[in-house]
Amino acid sequence: MDKPNILLITSDQQHWNAIGTRNPEVSTPNLDRLAKAGVSFSRAYCPNPTCTPSRSSLITGLYPSQHGAWSLGTKLPEDVQTIGDILGQSGYKTALVGKAHFQPLASSPEFPSLEAYPTLQDLEFWRTYSERFYGFHHVELARNHVNEAHVGQHYALWLEEKGLHNWRDYFVPPTGTMDASIRHKWPIPEEFHYDTWIAERSNALLEQYANSGESFFLWSSFFDPHPPYLVPEPWDEMYDPAAVTLPTLTNGEHEGNPPHFQMTQQANPDFSGYRESGMGIHGMHSHLHSSEDLRRDIAVYYGMISLMDKYIGKILDKLDELGLAENTLVVFTSDHGHFYGQHGLTAKGPFHYEDLIRVPLCIRYPGHVPAGIDSPSLQSLVDFTPTVLGLLGIDVPRTMTGLDQSEVWLGKKDLLRNHILCENHHEPTTIHLKTYVDERYKITVYFRQTYGELFDLEEDPNEVHNLWDHPDYQQLKQELLLKYIWAELGKEPLWMPRIAGA
């Protein structure tokens, strides 16, 4: 096999079926052509349903409890080995354009963060930044979703280079002046949207690599469709809110669920007892919403995906134009899923339904990866780095606990993984849960709690009936708990081989 290039394209918080090949209500012609030219996995999962832990697992081949960035607000240590480190040592040029989010918004002497204030918005610092960043030779970064205050870094520099010197008008305080109450239609012109920036800068790097003949690993990391729901015109009006399918709560479905599920359906729930450290937890608030508001949100969510798809298409077109497509492995996925009304929930939180922990995953490598395949093989984002290394014939470090799924990707085997583990750790005790998923069943356990969740995904694919306390399923629960323990034991890294008896 020739030494292929690798192009990783990621979205942020995209529901696993919010792609045209799976949902005819969403228009994604470029992601569709990617999926149809390769393999699309219907059961791909994240190892944690929040950004920093999942993204860190993607580049390390380790679970969040292993690489250190176990929650939002934590930091991936710089000394953890990444795919960038390994490919850089193997002669690849490595680059990341877009969202990183490996570090927190706050900094401390013990845990300094380049993605924290004031460095985040020190444009002169980023103008000359040339250090290795988690193994990437070259980075162009930003840290925000639509009009959020965290805009800065290389995106802000690009806006100024493009002549948009009043870019602060399109972002909310304290960075900008935009009215924070504006919803759905983002006044920023599309030519200055970060999708445009990511595609333009990715394509410039592709041209550089094509001209030099260098093998590359390029990560184009998009910010959308993560809320807030805002998109430039005409994308905000692309979808009719009245025509979208509205996911709903099944009456009584949370009655047998842990307490925090039920509290989300209250107008003013008190979640203070869950915040032992005083830090906020995504999802621990009321999720009540009107059907009218939710329909409008979904329509804009789809618009954000379609706009992103347009600029993903520009990157794929550039591969074709430069003659790189035939020797480039393209991978598209997202860091975690999303709720937009499923189970009465919105956005994300400590609720391990399939909507949140499953992600889209499409791969293309002409002549090597079979085309037009929709595979149910279990995949995890923690497998990405070991699998890419396996495809390249590079030894997978013993420290990595993800699986090398290259034989599945190449169509030589139907499956290698028989289970998924998903972690979610916010507070020391109250919100610390882990989920085990196999081909049919799914079980979720909570640290120091006797409640949990058990679903039969074959008989109950919408996860409406929690069987945790059902008397007819206690034997199954014990079997699944044992399998979960085996899975936890099995993911322990063997840092070095045993070379002596003592």
Contact criterion met (CB below 8 Å) for 304 and 188: no
- Is 449 a domain residue? no
- Is 150 a domain residue? yes
- Is 40 a domain residue? yes
Q: Which of 74, 17, 50, 73 is nearest to 352 (CA)?
A: 50
Label residue 294 by pLDDT band (50, 70, 90). very high
What share of the chain in percent tops pLDDT 90? 95
Average pLDDT of the residues in 262-284? 91
- pLDDT of 127 > 90? The answer is yes
- Is 461 a domain residue? no
Query: What pLDDT, on the 0 to 100 scale, is given for residue 128?
Result: 96
- Residue 76 is inside which H or E element, if any? none
Q: Tell me the pairing of strands 441-446 and 452-456.
A: antiparallel
What secondary structure letter does DSSP report for 427?
A: S
What pTM did the predictor assign?
Answer: 0.98
Neighbours of 345 (CB within 10 A): 24
Give the helix ranges, DSSP H, for 139-219: 153-161, 194-212
- pLDDT of 275 > 90? The answer is no
- Is 375 a domain residue? yes
Helix (H, G, I), strand (E, B) or coil at 436: strand
- Looking up residue 200, the CATH number of its domain turns out to be 3.40.720.10
What secondary structure letter does DSSP report for 192?
A: G
Average pLDDT of the residues in 87-99? 97
Q: Which of 282, 401, 381, 379 is nearest to 334 (CA)?
A: 381
- Is 395 a domain residue? yes
- pLDDT of 62 > 60? The answer is yes
C-alpha–C-alpha distance, residues 369 and 6, integer Å: 13
What share of the chain in percent tops pLDDT 70? 100
Q: What are phi and psi of 98, to 5 degrees?
A: 120, -135
Q: Which of 220, 219, 212, 217 is nearest to 392 (CA)?
A: 217
Neighbours of 270 (CB within 10 A): 8
Helix (H, G, I), strand (E, B) or coil at 33: helix
Label residue 102 by pLDDT band (50, 70, 90). very high
- pLDDT of 492 > 60? The answer is yes
SS3 breakdown of the chain: % helix, strand, coil, rounded to 5? 30, 15, 50
If you search the block for the tokens 């925000």, which residue do you land on?
A: 144
C-alpha–C-alpha distance, residues 263 and 254, integer Å: 9
If you search the block for the tokens 């870019």, which residue do you land on?
A: 167
Which range, of 53-57, 192-196, 298-302, 425-429, averages the lowest pLDDT?
Answer: 425-429
In which domain, by residue range, is 403 found?
A: 5-414
What secondary structure letter does DSSP report for 19?
A: S
Query: What pLDDT, on the 0 to 100 scale, is given for residue 203?
Result: 98
- pLDDT of 1 > 70? The answer is no
- Residue 225 is inside which H or E element, if any? none
Query: What pLDDT, on the 0 to 100 scale, is given for residue 320?
Result: 98
| Residue-wise pLDDT tens digits, 337-366 | 999 999 999 999 999 999 999 999 999 999
Average pLDDT of the residues in 428-440? 94
Partner residues linked to 9 by β-bridges: 220, 332
- Is 35 a domain residue? yes
- CA torsion, ordered 310, 311, 313, 319, to nearest 10 deg: 170
Contact criterion met (CB below 8 Å) for 48 and 424: yes
Query: What pLDDT, on the 0 to 100 scale, is given for residue 175?
Result: 87
Label residue 153 by pLDDT band (50, 70, 90). very high
| Residue-wise pLDDT tens digits, 370-411 | 999 999 999 999 999 999 999 999 999 999 999 999 999 999
Average pLDDT of the residues in 89-112? 96
Query: What pLDDT, on the 0 to 100 scale, is given for residue 495?
Result: 84
More confident site: 276 or 372: 372
Q: Tell me the pairing of strands 432-437 and 441-446.
A: antiparallel
Query: What pLDDT, on the 0 to 100 scale, is given for residue 277?
Result: 81
Our count of domains for the chain comes to 1
- pLDDT of 276 > 90? The answer is no
Label residue 114 by pLDDT band (50, 70, 90). very high
> Is the peptide bond prior to 225 cis by the omega test (within 30 degrees of 0)?
yes
Q: How far apart are the first and last CA of the chain?
A: 42
C-alpha–C-alpha distance, residues 273 and 278, integer Å: 10
Contact criterion met (CB below 8 Å) for 355 and 32: no
Average pLDDT of the residues in 292-307? 98
Q: Tell me the pairing of strands 358-364 and 328-334.
A: antiparallel
- What's the chain's Rg over C-alpha atoms? 22
Query: What pLDDT, on the 0 to 100 scale, is given for residue 202?
Result: 98
Q: What is the pLDDT of the chain when averaged over all its residues? A: 96
- Is 422 a domain residue? no
Q: Which of 2, 8, 3 is nearest to 315 (CA)?
A: 8
| Residue-wise pLDDT tens digits, 5-28 | 999 999 999 999 999 999 999 999
Q: Which of 237, 335, 346, 246 is nearest to 291 (CA)?
A: 246
Contact criterion met (CB below 8 Å) for 36 and 371: yes
DSSP string, 315-349: HHHHHHHTT-GGGEEEEEEESS--EESGGG-EE-S
